Amino acid sequence: MGFKKNKKKISADNSRKLVTSFDTKSPISEQYRTIRTNIQYSSVDTELKAIMVTSSGPGEGKSTTIANLAVVFAQQGKKVLVVDADLRRPTVHYTFSRNNLHGFTTVLTKQTTLAKAVEETDEENLYILTSGPIPPNPAELLSSKSMEHFIEEAKNEFDLVLFDTPPLLAVADPQILANQCDASILVVFSGKTEIDLAKKSKELLENAQSKLLGVVLNHQEVAKDSYYYYYGSR
């Protein structure tokens, strides 16, 4: 399948979000690679091709996390697709400096095809599918037969499909998607995410029968004399 060759330079502001692409030797990039390794070891017996990344609430870093995870998997040679499944407050088009005229919603409603809507990025092997126009019925779209067909087609075309979703405690959308993906990852913000809310999010994923691979602790300060700082700064 051929995809749109629509590469645009990432803006300076967004380059800070994609640290794994612009500063590959940084301690943060090294920790994303560690997360990549942990994901791979968690699926020794079963291949995980569709993974949902979510958080308890807004502003906890899930979109930055998913973008950088996508980069490190692509750098390993995997063909990766990032899908903006946050059909209420999408951000992937901002991160990768694209427009959002077509995307996930136009594919689900059969106004366009996956091949036409997917876009290449500056990172080799990394592709994105922006959300497309915000629909009036996000939950219905995500629970439709069209969504089942979408996941099947995407998994056939890519080695890894990463879904960026709304916060778990805000709307039902992530629970619907969690049941359809092979696994999920929960992002929490150090010093900000309340423990009770994180536990509630874990319960919601379990109720959706999602395989929770683990929790990513975001925005944790790393001391300069720590192992990660030393290793990542060589």
Per-residue pLDDT reduced to its tens digit, 61-94: 899 999 999 999 999 999 999 999 999 999 999 9
Whether 181 maps to a domain, the answer reads: yes
Query: Length of the chain in residues, anyone?
Result: 234
Q: Which range of residues forms the domain containing residue 47?
A: 18-232
Per-residue pLDDT reduced to its tens digit, 170-224: 888 999 999 999 999 999 988 778 889 999 999 999 999 999 999 998 876 655 5
Whether 227 maps to a domain, the answer reads: yes
Whether 7 maps to a domain, the answer reads: no
Per-residue pLDDT reduced to its tens digit, 91-127: 999 999 999 999 999 999 999 999 999 999 999 999 9
State the burial class of residue 99 (Cβ atoms within 10 Å of its Cβ: 0-12, 13-18, 19+): exposed
Whether 13 maps to a domain, the answer reads: no
Phi, psi dihedrals of residue 132, rounded to the nearest 5°: 80, 180
Q: Quote the CA–CA distance of 16 and 22 in Å, as a whole number.
A: 8
Q: Tell me which H or E stretch contains 108.
A: helix 104-108
CATH number of the domain bearing residue 115: 3.40.50.300
Whether 11 maps to a domain, the answer reads: no
Whether 57 maps to a domain, the answer reads: yes
Structure token pair of residue 162: 């990463």
Per-residue pLDDT reduced to its tens digit, 147-165: 999 999 999 999 999 999 9
Whether 3 maps to a domain, the answer reads: no
Whether 8 maps to a domain, the answer reads: no
For residues 181-220, one letter each, b for 16 or more C-beta atoms within 10 angstroms of the residue's C-beta and e for the rest, the string is bbbbbbbbbeeebeeebbeebbebbeebebbbbeebebee
pTM of the model: 0.86
Per-residue pLDDT reduced to its tens digit, 5-30: 555 554 445 545 788 888 888 888 89
